[in-house]
Each structure stands twice: as structure tokens, then as C-alpha cells.
Structure 1
Amino acid sequence: MRQLIVRRLLQTIPMLFFVSVVCFAMIKLAPGDPVLSFVTPNMHAEDIERIRHNLGLDKPAYIQYFIWIKEMVQGNFGYSLVNHQPVLGQILERLPATAGLMGSAILLAVLLAIPLGLIAGANRNRWLDKLINFISYIGISVPLFWLAILLMYLFAIKLHLLPSMGMRTIGVESAADVLKHGILPCSVLAFGFLASYVRYIRSSTIGQLKEEYVQIQYAFGSRKSTILFRHVLKHVLLPVITLLGMSMGDLVAGAIVTETVFSWPGIGSLGMTAVRGMDYPVIMGITLFSSLMLIIGNLAADILYSFVDPRIKLKG
């Protein structure tokens, strides 16, 4: 187990290096110039070049990358080109908001997807299975930003039941207020996760119901619900663990569009602001941080496999 963890952690180094190279190259190839956000109509060309020099953007792209990677290895993710604040500090400041929102959405999606997927798989091609599949197809097909706007219009503008944006009401400092603001974005994100989770669990359930241990349980007189939630569920958890591991990156990057629509002060909205301003240190920091969390999530999923299914060996 220890060797596996050490080996996987060492593998993150070349993977993060590759991600950083690709991300940096895409930023440099993208149209736009971050210096333009500082330019005023009365500014001379010498002033513009001075700004470019102060930001370090007058050097060749590969020099800029090596300077950035040198600082990053030392734990310095650089400073924002827009607000001149430390990149790591901004990410850590917004991390609780994104982690709370995404974690709640993923947890809600899993709690709903497990029984729905088991029921759909156990009632294959029946009306209940078709209904759950129809809901899943809607969740996969409907753009989340459109669903977010629709729910905002219905529950915030028309019915006045929930706040439309933000994380807190001005002047109100309570957990209940934060929960109330998080209902709409959490519901939108949970619906998106739920659709894919149900499909995976349904497929795994159909395969498990064909196994011999299920027929043995029927021969012993076990009820269908007992077989599903006591025996089949243990094997169905494997794809769920995989999905949770792959979702760890979302805990950092967040749902960029959803956070932007609801003005949720998380890392996703920070990333959208950075993209609009060509703030490449912030973009690079968010990309690497989310990639690292994704790698750690996959490692955690591999470790959890041994607890869910002891037959899986974590050697090599």
C-alpha cells in the first residue's frame, strides 16, 4: 500500500509538468493581450511598454514559462496580472465556497443516484426504468447554464422563494442564509452529476443481477430488495468510487458557468474572471490545483477499492 501511494505521488510530477506546458501554450496562443486592461486613451507607447516590462510580458514565451515554473516549485504561484494579489491566496480564499457547494452537490447526487440506479437496473425495460432513464437523459442533454437560468427565473423572480445570486444576504451572517443561497446552485449541479451517476449504477446493477450469487440468494428465499441493497450494492459501489475520484477536480475548479450565473464567490467564478482578463497566473494556478486534486482523488479511489472489494489487490 505504501509503495503504491509513493509511486503514484511520484507520477504526479511529470503529469503536472505536462499539464502546465499545455495550459501555458494554450494561453499564449489565445487571442488577446492582458496589457490592454491597463491601457487608457491618453497613454503613450512608452508607458504601455513599461507596463509590459513590469509584468514580465516582454520576454519570450519560453522564458516566461521557466520563470513561472521556477517560482511554482518554490511554492509561489505568482501574482495576478489584474489585481496584483497572490494567486495561491486567492485560490485558498475561495476554496471553501467552491468545496462546500460542489461537495454538497456531489453528496446529494450520490445519495439519490444509488437507489435510483439500483431500482432502474432491477426493473430493466419496465415503466419505472424508462422514467428514470428519461430523467437521466434530460440531465445529460440540458445545458446546466440554461437550467440554472430557468430555476432562477421560477423560484427567485416569479415565486420569490429563494435568492437569485450571491452567497450571503448583505448584513446577514448566519448558516441558514448561506444554505438558502446555496439551494439553487447546489440543485443545478446535483442534477448534472445525478444523470451520469444513475446511468453508471444502472448498468452495473444489470450486470450484477446476472451473477450466480444473486441466483443463490433467490434460492435461499431472499427478497429482491434485500438482494439489491445488501448484496448487489457492495459491487455497485465500485463505479461510484471511480466517479467520486474523478469529481475531485471539480471540488477545486468548480462549475465555472454555474458559479458565474449565480454569482457564487468560488474558484469557478475566479477562473472565469481570469479568462476574461487574460490573467494567466491565475488560470495556471487553478488548472494545476484542480489537476492535483484530480490525481489525488484517483489515488484515493484506488485505495478505497480495497475496502469495498477485498479481492482487488493494490500490488502494482
Structure 2
Amino acid sequence: MRQLIVRRLLQTVPLLFFVSVVCFFMIKLAPGDPVLSFVTPNMHAEDIERVRHNLGLDKPAYIQYFIWLKELLQGNFGYSLTNHQPVLDQILERLPATAGLMGSAIALAVLLAIPLGLLAGANRNRWVDKLINFISYIGISVPLFWLAILMIYLFAIKLHWLPSMGMRTIGVESTADVIKHGVLPCTVLAFGFLTSYVRYIRSSTIGQLKEEYVQIQYAFGASKTTVLFRHVMKHVLLPVITLLGMSMGDLVAGAIVTETVFSWPGIGSLGMTAVRGMDYPVIMGITLFSSLMLIIGNLAADILYSFVDPRIKLTR
């Protein structure tokens, strides 16, 4: 296991380097010019070029990349081109908001997906399975931003039950107020995760119910509920662990569109602002941070595999 962890950590370095190269040059190929954010109608061409030189954008793209990479290796993620604040400080400042929102949404989705997926798989082609599948298909088909707007219209505008945007009410510093503001975005994100999780768990449950150990448990007189939640669920956890590992990147990057719709002050809305302003240091910082968390999530999933299924550890 120790060799696995060391090997995966060593593979992280070239992988992050590849991600940084692709992301940097894709930003450079994208239309737009960050200098335009500083241009005013009274500025002359010489002033515009001076701004470009001060921002370091007058050099070739590959030189800009190596300058950025050199600063990164020294622990400096750079400074934002729009507000001139350190990129890492901005990411860490918004990380708790995104991690809290995404963590709550993923946890809620998993807690609901496990019993729903087991129930659908155990009642294959029955009305319960068809109903859960119908809801899952709706969740897969409906864009989350449309669902977010619909919930804002229903629960915030029409019913006045919940706030429509922001993380706090001005002048109110309480946990209950934060939870109240997070209900709508958390529900939207949890619904998006839930539909995917249910499909995976349902498929795994159907496969596990065909295994011999299930028939043996029935032969010993075990009830269907006991077999389902005591024996089958252990094997169903494997795809759930995979999905959780893949979701680690979302804990950092967050749901960009959802955070923007609800004006949630997380990393997702920071990334959207950076994209609109062509603020490539912020974009690069968020991309690398998300990639690193995704790699760590996959590594954690591999480690958890050995605890959930000892056969994997013996094979390795």
C-alpha cells in the first residue's frame, strides 16, 4: 500500500505539468484580451501598450508560461490581473464556502442514493424501479441552471420561504442564516449528483443479486431486506467510492453555474469572474488546485477499496 501511495504521488507531478500546459495555452488561444479591462476611452495606444507591458502580456506565450511556472515552483500562484490580489489567498478565502456547499450536496446525494439505488435494483422492472428511473432520467436531462432558476422562482419569489442569493443576510451573523441560504443551491446540486449515483448503484445491485452468495443467504432463511442492506450493500459501495473520488475536484472548483445563479461566494463564481475577465493566473490556480484534489480523491478511493473489499488488497 505504501508503494502504491508513493507511486501515485510521483505520477502527480508530470500529470499536473501536462494539465498546466494544456490549460495555459487553451487560455491563450481563447478570444479576448485581459488588457481591455483597463482600457478607457481617453487612453492612447502608448498607454495601452504600457499596461500590456506592466502585466507581462507583451511577451510570447511560451515565455509567459515559463515565467508563471517558475513562480509556481517557488510557491507563488501569481497575482490576479484584475484586482492584483494573490491568487492563492483568493482561492483559500473562498474554499470554505465551496467545500461546505459541495460537501453537503454530495453527502445528501449519497445518503439518498444508496437506499434508492438498492430499492430500484431489488425491484427491477416494477413500478418502484420505473418511478426511480423516471426521476433519474429527469435529473440527467434537466440542466441544473434551469432547475436553479425554477426553484428560485417557486421558493423565493412566489412562496417567500427561502432567500434567492448570497450566503448571508446583511447584518446577520448566524449559522442558521447560512444554512437557510444554502438550502436551495445544496438541493439543486444534490439532485444533480443523486441521479447519477442512483443509476450506478442500481446497476451494481442488479449484478450482485445474481451472485451465488445471495442465493445462499436466501437458502439459510435470510429475508430480502437483510440480504439487501447487510450483504449486497457492502459490494455496492465500490462504485460509490469511485464516484466520491471523482467528486473531490468538485469540492474545490464547485458548480460554477450553480454558484453564479445563486450568487454563492465560492470558487465557482470566482472562476466565472476570472473567465469573463481573461484573468489567466486565477484560472490556472483554480484548475491546478482542482486537478490536485481530483488526483488525491482517486488515490483515497484506491485506498478505501482495500478496506471495503480485501480481495483487492490481496491482488495488489
1:242-263 Cα offsets, whole Å, 9 max, x none, are 0000000000000000000000
Structure 1: any 5+ residue segments left out of the alignment?
Answer: none
> 1:45, 1:310 → 2: CA distance?
68
Residue pair 1:121, 1:202 contacting (<8 A) in 2 also: yes
The equivalent residue for 2:159 is: 159
Query: What is the Cα deviation at residue 308 of structure 1?
Result: 0.6
Residue pair 1:97, 1:265 contacting (<8 A) in 2 also: yes
Query: What is the Cα deviation at residue 3 of structure 1?
Result: 1.0
Query: What is the Cα deviation at residue 95 of structure 1?
Result: 0.1
Structure 2: any 5+ residue segments left out of the alignment?
Answer: none
Query: What is the Cα deviation at residue 33 of structure 1?
Result: 0.3
Cα-Cα RMSD: 0.7
> 1:261, 1:314 → 2: CA distance?
48
1:203-255 Cα offsets, whole Å, 9 max, x none, are 00000000000000000110000000000000000000000000000000000
Query: What is the Cα deviation at residue 74 of structure 1?
Result: 1.1
> 2:285, 2:315 → 1: CA distance?
33
CA 1:153–1:86: 2 relative to 1, 3 Å = same
1:264-315 Cα offsets, whole Å, 9 max, x none, are 0000000000000000000000000000000000000000001111111277
CA 1:266–1:314: 2 relative to 1, 3 Å = farther
The equivalent residue for 1:35 is: 35
- Runs of 4+ residues over 4 Å off in structure 1: none
Residue 125 of structure 1 aligns to a residue in which SS? coil
Residue 272 of structure 1 aligns to a residue in which SS? helix
Query: What is the Cα deviation at residue 2 of structure 1?
Result: 1.1
1:120-143 Cα offsets, whole Å, 9 max, x none, are 000000000000000000110000
> 2:193, 2:74 → 1: CA distance?
36
CA 1:298–1:219: 2 relative to 1, 3 Å = same
Residue pair 1:4, 1:315 contacting (<8 A) in 2 also: no
Residue pair 1:4, 1:314 contacting (<8 A) in 2 also: no
> 1:251, 1:164 → 2: CA distance?
22
Q: How does 1:65-84 map to 2 (within 5 A)?
A: 65-84=65-84
Residue 42 of structure 1 aligns to a residue in which SS? coil
> 1:62, 1:315 → 2: CA distance?
45
Residue 205 of structure 1 aligns to a residue in which SS? helix
> 1:304, 1:250 → 2: CA distance?
19
1:41-83 Cα offsets, whole Å, 9 max, x none, are 0001111111100100000000000000111111100000000
CA 1:59–1:315: 2 relative to 1, 3 Å = farther
Aligned length: 316
Query: TM-score, normalising length from structure 1?
Result: 0.99
